[in-house]
Amino acid sequence: MKFLNYLWLSFLSCFCFSAMAQNAPRFTNGDRVVFVGNSITHGGRYHQYIWLYYMTRFPEMRITIMNAGIGGEVAEQMFKRLETDVYAKKPSVIALTFGMNDTGYFEFLQANSSEKSKEKLDRSYKAYLRIDSSFKKHTGSKKIIIAGSPYDETSKFGKDNFFPGKSKALLETANFQEAVAKKSGWSFVDFNRPMTAINLREQAKDSTYTIIGNDRIHPGVDGHLVMAYLFLKAQGLKNKKVAEMTINATTSKVERTDNCIITDVKAGQDELRFDYLAKALPYPVDTMPTGEWNAMQRRETDALELVPFNQELNQEMLFVKGLKNNNYAVEIDGRKIGEWSAEQLGAGINLAEQRRTPQYEQAMAIKKLNEERWQIERRLRDYAWMEYDFLMDKGLLFKDDLATLDTIYTHINEGFVRGNLDNYLKARYPEVRQGWQRQMDVLVEEIYRINKPQKHSFYIHAL
């Protein structure tokens, strides 16, 4: 326990130091953002959570966020597909992460693990320097380097997939990424050190805890929401409120507003009415557990216990002054959302934490549409895996003909070929891929149609 506390404090100090250097450009209207990475990007959710924040917080500003992750990849493979899989998407922002696969796995179980690890890291660093050189030539986009999520070798939930020394190699990779980003003038965001600090902090209380999934590699939905939180903070979005309003029930005056409009204020005996139109929506966080294979029973709301997401990034504050000492019901559009004392309403309540409000329901509909879009996009990334990590080295990139199918069946038991076959049999037809893209386009159009905040009527009355 003392050792874990020591590790936690050591990593926390590193995190506090590194956080000062973290920065990323805030996305602007029309941005096309591509997230490049390995399986944690390919099948992960952090980028869709980031887009959901922009969909709800900036409803009048349209951006596009695209997944360019491929499972199992190292930096060298990412370099090979820059032209056709990244630059071809015409990005105005590129966010790149690598390291989990670059640091190796079974090398850490060999007698000469230090030497093997160094060989892997040296190869990765050389590949990244080639990426860095390519980035400098591709001047039309901003670059963000992300030190990826950590490998968890400290949790005591089991010994499976345990590679001692891998977490240290990932930290070395993060240091290298940060140094090169600084030298080249790129932005840098660190997931590794703050997530490791969270892991060690929680493991000091429960030795079986992990923010990473059961395979010690892939974070669950809670980990991905923490990653989104870290990225958004690096963009300087801390304390960017959904809205804030202060109303005096005694004088019927609006004393303060931030990002909202309050009209038609009427105060009576122990009651207050007004209309509210915000310029943003609250960020919806799902309470349901996921069925993902690596993180069963994980919930997005679990992340709220780990980082101050709502306190720093999701504030829709209602302050009511001048109420008599009593308990009050708060209704919005005739729907009761909760009960608070006059003291609590005077101190302020965060409506973004209330899941029964009509504005939260509106945001949740946006979230569900975005998840549908993400699911379709994952199919396209599964197709990209077959093309870039299996067919390209065989000279069959985007051939997708019957000869290509013969090659696939010949190697059906290699890597992830069998697991990706069903998806590939559909996606090899351009008409299918175009149909998937049109489905995503329709979903995005619907999101930006329904994400405009609506006017709501508040009624606060004594119980």
pLDDT tens-digit readout, 85-122: 999 999 999 999 999 999 999 889 888 888 888 899 99
Report for 6-10, 297-301, 364-368: range of highest mean pLDDT: 364-368
Among residues of the chain, what percentage have pLDDT more than 70?
94
**Per-residue pLDDT averaged across 202-223, rounded?**
93
3-state secondary structure of 283: coil
Q: What average pLDDT is seen over the chain? A: 93
pLDDT band at 415 (very low <50, low <70, confident <90, very high): confident
Query: What integer pLDDT is reported at residue 6 of this predicted model?
Result: 40
Does the structure show a pLDDT above 80 at 33? Answer: yes
Cα-based distances in Å from 444 to 73, 242, 424: 29, 21, 24
Least reliable range by pLDDT among 237-246, 285-294, 336-345? 285-294
Q: CB-hemisphere CA count at 13 Å for 206?
A: 8
pLDDT band at 298 (very low <50, low <70, confident <90, very high): confident
For residues 294-311, b (16+ Cβ closer than 10 Å) or e, as one string?
Answer: bbeebbbbbbbebbebbe
Q: Is 25 exposed, middle or buried (0-12, 13-18, 19+ CB in 10 A)?
A: middle
Query: What integer pLDDT is reported at residue 117 of this predicted model?
Result: 86
**Separation between Cα atoms, residue 391 and residue 382, nearest integer Å:** 13
Query: What integer pLDDT is reported at residue 288 of this predicted model?
Result: 87
Cα-based distances in Å from 396 to 102, 247, 293, 417, 426: 25, 66, 31, 15, 17
Closest CA to 456 of 262, 319, 284: 262
Residue 391 backbone dihedrals phi, psi, to 5 degrees: -85, -30
Query: What integer pLDDT is reported at residue 294 of this predicted model?
Result: 58
**Separation between Cα atoms, residue 251 and residue 110, nearest integer Å:** 75
**Separation between Cα atoms, residue 121 and residue 93, nearest integer Å:** 26
3-state secondary structure of 367: helix
Query: What integer pLDDT is reported at residue 186 of this predicted model?
Result: 97
Residue 423 backbone dihedrals phi, psi, to 5 degrees: -65, -40
Query: What integer pLDDT is reported at residue 289 of this predicted model?
Result: 82
pLDDT band at 291 (very low <50, low <70, confident <90, very high): low
